[in-house]
Amino acid sequence: MTASSPRRIHMHENDNVAIVVNDGGLPAGTVFADGLTLVEGVPQGHKVALVDLAQGDAVIRYNVTIGRAAKAIPKGSWVSEQLLDMPPARELDNLPIATVKPAPLPPLEGYTFQGYRNEDGSVGTRNILAITTTVQCVSGVVDFAVKRIKAELLPRYPNVDDVVGLEHTYGCGVAIDAPNAMVPIRTLHNISKNPNFGGQAMVVSLGCEKLQPTRLFPKGSIPIRKADNTIADEAPVVCLQDNHHVGFMSMIDSIMQTAEQQLEVLNRRQRVTCPAADLVVGVQCGGSDAFSGVTANPAVGFATDLLVRAGATVMFSEVTEVRDGIDQLTSRAVNEEVAQAMIREMDWYDNYLKRGGVDRSANTTPGNKKGGLSNIVEKAMGSIVKSGSSPISGVLSPGEKLTTKGLIYAATPASDFICGTLQLAAGMNLHIFTTGRGTPYGLAEVPVIKVATRDDLARRWHDLMDVNAGRIATGEATIESVGWELFQLMLDVASGKKTWAEHWKLHNALVLFNPAPVT
Amino acid sequence: MTASSPRRIHMHENDNVAIVVNDGGLPAGTVFADGLTLVEGVPQGHKVALVDLAQGDAVIRYNVTIGRAAKAIPKGSWVSEQLLDMPPARELDNLPIATVKPAPLPPLEGYTFQGYRNEDGSVGTRNILAITTTVQCVSGVVDFAVKRIKAELLPRYPNVDDVVGLEHTYGCGVAIDAPNAMVPIRTLHNISKNPNFGGQAMVVSLGCEKLQPTRLFPKGSIPIRKADNTIADEAPVVCLQDNHHVGFMSMIDSIMQTAEQQLEVLNRRQRVTCPAADLVVGVQCGGSDAFSGVTANPAVGFATDLLVRAGATVMFSEVTEVRDGIDQLTSRAVNEEVAQAMIREMDWYDNYLKRGGVDRSANTTPGNKKGGLSNIVEKAMGSIVKSGSSPISGVLSPGEKLTTKGLIYAATPASDFICGTLQLAAGMNLHIFTTGRGTPYGLAEVPVIKVATRDDLARRWHDLMDVNAGRIATGEATIESVGWELFQLMLDVASGKKTWAEHWKLHNALVLFNPAPVT
Ligand SMILES: [Ca+2]
Ligand SMILES: [Ca+2]
Ligand SMILES: [Ca+2]
Ligand SMILES: [Ca+2]
Ligand SMILES: [Ca+2]
């Protein structure tokens, strides 16, 4: 099949719509190989009706009702978002609980990567000195210090990859005793323990902030190794307001001296051969289009199954993007407890959105719609496929740290930055990000592998996208082949190969999820 | 009086407590000149009882009941926070409305500074190229571009002081149609129009984000001057997802080309003599202690009156820090409309906090309490004095832009970064920040003059604090003399003199106030 012959994709035999694959879309009068004729032009990624639909008929994609026809839609028409009435959200009672018992997939053995094994058993994919901050007040000072550490100290510690200030907007001017304040606090606590930071931590504090170092790290909660190889029961804290700081440079000197002790310990880390089981992969999507659920996300889903077979951990997230498929998830839960935990997270988020006067439909973007995703139901079906087909073995609330392996539902907002930040807190050591519209997303803390859903994006953003899943739509590759390619690339990147975002040093902000008020 | 003789300050003849001035506090047995004897040690900045207080007696400071004695407190005791029961918040009905008619202060004439006059009449104190971003997605790319612009372009435009990427965490993954979403959107819109940016603007957009450039800047809302001196009816937008961008460097080139056009126009700006009336000063406090309301804030209040007399604009803010003094403010309003607007802002914030399960008492920090501020009532009384004694002539909701001169109440959270960001949006061209505990706070967009409340802080942070108001407590200076000094320094800084935060390039993040949910 040539690139110019008309091409469409549907995801399930019961679907009564398909999406147009060709770059630039297809004009009215286009005849497909099976005789289907377009009665009007259909943009790329948008839906064409495969049958005559009467007003009120279910429009089915992914074998799911993504909406009802707002009026009669003749076969061959463009099923645009205006023609779809969105169904209400699935009620959270009477859901199927652990009803699907997928036959266990065969273990996948023999795959390894070169990682930095930590004392707690976790494995880093990079060797990074992280400087935790308790409050935004110290950011300017930490920026100043990090520049000097990179210029003056880092060259003397060749095994350390980078120095990162964990800056954020939390820590003061916030209702720190509000019921929901535990979310940002535990997020920041757990991020500091990300495997890429080697179990080391240091804190820069102002002194008078609400989020005191002892609140962020209660005594004993973050033991670190000292340069003399003994263990300290708490991370060192540089407090800018301490009386012994006289003049700005004394603060910078304190930070640099503390940093040097950490660098000395981190510099002893060496990459060793680790089984693929030590990967902790966070998957998410952003800037999605109709191809997300057809190419990149199914390929990620295939790779997710490979990872689970290899004994690794995979987190999928983004509450509003699974909400409409909650029945698929509860039925795949390994047990009732896991299913109920998922329901609790959905219910919490429903209420959170309701308090703000909105619902799950606030998720979709102009770009989603331009890309052919009519509503959140359709978007969700395409998003969930990143989770593959394995049983779901655990659930995390926002900001919690992983305690089990396998396929985990880590509840987070869909916001790319908040989701990424929460997956960092959970303990992710590798991030997979699919995009249809395109985003230069990157994190300083963990490598991000970006997967393009479309050929055209992969071609134009050739030095930003790491994998082109668009070849699935054109028939040049399969979901399986791209899934394997991605799996191999994960092992390579985990071993030190740089992603494009790392090459250009593109770093987005940490964005803490704070459902509590500011003051 | 020597530095070591015991010294205390009370603010009003009706006060039955005073605060201890001496560094390190005073021990039990200390005898003051008037015979008052401490029955126990009192830390610096903390309160001593001037009379015997029975359980339930009002504890009065600033001639206001800051609490009731939880038990009997003998004269000469330390009135610690545990001994004070906080009164409930003042009800918002039956407030005195525009009852105080202060005699108009004599106009202050002849004070000028050298500023950059803009076409809309506003005046910049710095000449900065600002690059507006619609969404966090583009931050990494904008950081990369800004570094190149500074290194390669800026040296050729010597009249331009700096290049700043207006980065933030808003723009996508947010409920952009929620009732409260107008707050962050108008904030970002108005920040781009800050006088320091010379009426020029350029936007870097991803393409698929919720906050589309046309939503941020509706057509005609931000006319800019082109290099050929004609007016364009909208700001140029670099959209990363545009089809003509092939490869990462093509995005960087687009941003740099657009930046260069702006630099050419901005480079034509010249400082000219402007009356002090063109100053738009935002005042706030952070890291407050008991001296804030005794030294720095009263000196700022005196300078506020000087500015108002000179025809300038002064904004004071921080809702939770005026809430307990709302009756003082409504009575000082120029008219009923202004008073009602203030009440509306208080009421909105009461409800906002309540939805999150907290109230105004969530404001105070461990540092406040360590510094002697027992509760939010006491803190508020010390915070309000920054507003001086002029009539309050206008009220802004969060993110709104100023339309009138004089003393304005700009409603904002007390969070230093959110308050500063909202004052930037209002059109501030100079920022005054008082601190007792100490903060290295700085902004890239507008110079920040930092005022220390205590001698000890000013001495230790000699290259971070611009003014030492602690001399008021030791008797070396008066509120009036420091107020005049501050006023003169404002004119100098507005004319180009660098503050310490500018010297070290200490820049805190823009933090948008988003009372709506993320998605
Ligand atoms: Ca997504
Ligand atoms: Ca996302
Ligand atoms: Ca930054
Ligand atoms: Ca304050
Ligand atoms: Ca403040």
Cα–Cα distance measured from residue B445 to residue B217, given in angstroms and rounded to the nearest whole number = 20
Residue B49: give its domain's CATH number. 2.30.130.110
User: Mean per-residue pLDDT for B222-238?
Assistant: 94
Nearest by Cα to A512 from A132, A242, A78, A130: A132
Distance B12 CA to ligand 4 centre (A): 22
Q: CB of B169 within 8 Å of any CB in chain A?
A: yes
Cβ contact A174–B415 (<8 Å): yes
Judge whether B197 and B190 are in contact, CB under 8 Å: no
Whether residue B39 is found in the same domain as residue B156: no
> Between A167, A370, A504, which is nearest B248 by CB?
A504
* pLDDT of the residue at A1: 42
Residues A136 and A263 in one domain: yes
DSSP A493: H
User: For residue B285, how far is its CA from the centre of ligand 4 (angstroms)?
Assistant: 4
Kindly state whether residues B362 and B340 are assigned to the same domain: yes
Helix (H, G, I), strand (E, B) or coil at B225: strand
Domain match, B335 and B379 both: yes
Contacts from B160-164 at CB under 8 Å and sequence distance 24+?
A: B160/B127, B160/B128, B160/B129, B160/B263, B160/B266, B160/B267, B161/B126, B161/B127, B161/B128, B162/B126, B162/B128, B162/B129, B162/B444, B163/B128, B163/B129, B163/B131, B163/B259, B164/B128, B164/B129, B164/B130, B164/B131, B164/B444, B164/B445
Spatial CA neighbour of A8 closest among A34, A388, A65:
A34
Answer yes or no: is pLDDT of B167 > 70.
yes
For residue A141, tell me if it sits in a domain.
yes
B4 pLDDT more than 80: no
Q: Which residue has the higher pLDDT, B238 or B103?
A: B238
Output the CA A192–ligand 4 centroid distance in Å: 29
Q: What is the pLDDT of residue B3?
A: 52
| B-interface mutation test, from A143, A174, A183, A208, most B Cβ less than 10 A away | A208
Q: Are residues A388 and A472 in the same domain?
A: yes
Choose among A245, A251, A169: nearest CA to A210.
A169
State whether B326 and B453 are in the same domain: yes
B164 contacts B396 by C-beta, under 8 angstroms: no
pLDDT digits (tens, 9 = 90+) for A32-59: 999 999 999 999 999 999 999 999 999 9
**CA distance to A114, A117, A272, per residue, from A495 (Å):** 4, 12, 9
A342 and A365 together in one domain = yes
B1 has a pLDDT exceeding 50: no
In chain A, residues with a C-beta closer than 8 Å to the C-beta of B462 are 246-247
**Structure tokens of A257?**
């001296």
* Domain-embedded: residue B489: yes
Contact A517 B353 (CB under 8 A): yes
Distance CA A178, CA B355 (A): 10
> pLDDT tens digit string along B76-85?
999 999 999 9
Q: What number of other Cβ atoms are within 10 A of residue A273's Cβ?
A: 10
Cβ pair A438:B240 closer than 8 A: yes
Chain A contact for B136, CB < 8 A?
Answer: yes
For residues B498 and B387, membership in a common domain is answered with yes
- Residue B241 touches partner A, C-beta closer than 8 Å: yes
DSSP class per residue in B475-504:
TSS-HHHHHHHHHHHHHHHHTTPPPHHHHH
- Give tens-digit pLDDT for B17-27: 999 999 899 99
Q: How many domains does chain B have?
A: 3
User: Of B238, B271, B304, which residue is a domain's last?
Assistant: B271
CA distance B327 to A89: 47
Helices A416-426, A182-191: axis angle to 10 degrees equals 60
- Domain assignment present for residue A102? The answer is no
B49, pLDDT greater than 90: yes
Residues 395-424 on B with a CB inside 8 Å of A are 413-419
CA–CA gap between residue B160 and residue B261 (Å, rounded): 13
Residue B2 has pLDDT above 60, yes or no: no
Would the pLDDT of A3 be above 60?
no
Q: Would you call A306 helix, strand, or coil by DSSP?
A: helix
Q: Is A70 on the interface with B (CB under 8 A)?
A: no
- For the ranges A424-438, B16-30, B97-111, B210-224, the lowest mean pLDDT is seen at B97-111
Task: Give the separation between CA B364 and CA A176, rounded to whole angstroms.
Answer: 10
Ion ligand 5 — residues with CB under 5 Å? B 284, 286, 414, 416, 419
Q: Are residues B413 and B492 in the same domain?
A: yes
User: What is residue B72's three-state secondary structure?
Assistant: coil
List the 300-359 stretch of B: residues with Cβ below 8 A of A.
320, 352-353, 355-358
Q: With CA atoms as reference, report the closest residue to B298 among B172, B140, B478, B148.
A: B478
Res. A105: pLDDT tops 90: no
Residue A518 maps to a domain? no
Over pLDDT 90: what percentage of chain B? Answer: 95
Handedness of CA B232, B238, B239, B245 (dihedral sign): positive
Which residues in chain A (1-30) have CB-CB distances under 8 A to chain B?
none
Question: Per-residue DSSP letters for A99-131?
Answer: ---PPPPPP--S-EEEEEE-TTS-EESS-EEEE
Inter-residue contact A430 to A447 (CB < 8 Å): yes
Q: Three-state SS for A237? A: strand
In chain B, the residue whose alpha carbon lies closest to the alpha carbon of A355 is: B355
B511 CA distance to ligand 1 middle (Å): 24
Residues linked to residue B129 through DSSP beta bridges, in sequence order: B163
Other CB atoms within a 10 A radius of the CB of residue A243 amount to 9
Mean pLDDT (whole number) for A381-395: 96
Is the pLDDT at B466 greater than 80, yes or no? Answer: yes
Q: Going along B397-496, which residue ranges are E strands?
A: 406-410, 430-435, 448-452, 467-468
Residue B445 resides in a domain: yes
Q: Over range B218-239, report the average pLDDT.
A: 94
Q: Are A200 and A132 in contact (CB under 8 A)?
A: no
Check residue A31 and give its pLDDT.
Answer: 97
A250 and A321 both lie in a single domain: no
Q: In terms of residue numbers, what domain contains B344? A: 280-504
- Same domain for A307 and A455, yes or no, is yes
Residue A117 lies in a domain: no
Residue B320 belongs to a domain: yes
Average pLDDT over chain A, rounded to whole?
96
Closest listed residue to residue A306, CA positions, set A431, A172, A147, A487: A487
Q: What is the value of ipTM here, to two decimals?
A: 0.96
How do residues A306-351 score in pLDDT, each as one tens digit?
999 999 999 999 999 999 999 999 999 999 999 999 999 999 999 9
User: Cβ(B381)–Cβ(B64) under 8 Å?
Assistant: yes
d(CA B407, CA B373): 26
Other CB atoms closer than 10 Å to residue B117's CB: what's the count? 18
What is the torsional sign of CA A332, A336, A342, A346?
Answer: positive
Asked if the structure places residue B82 within a domain, the reply is yes
Do B47 and B125 belong together in one domain? Answer: no
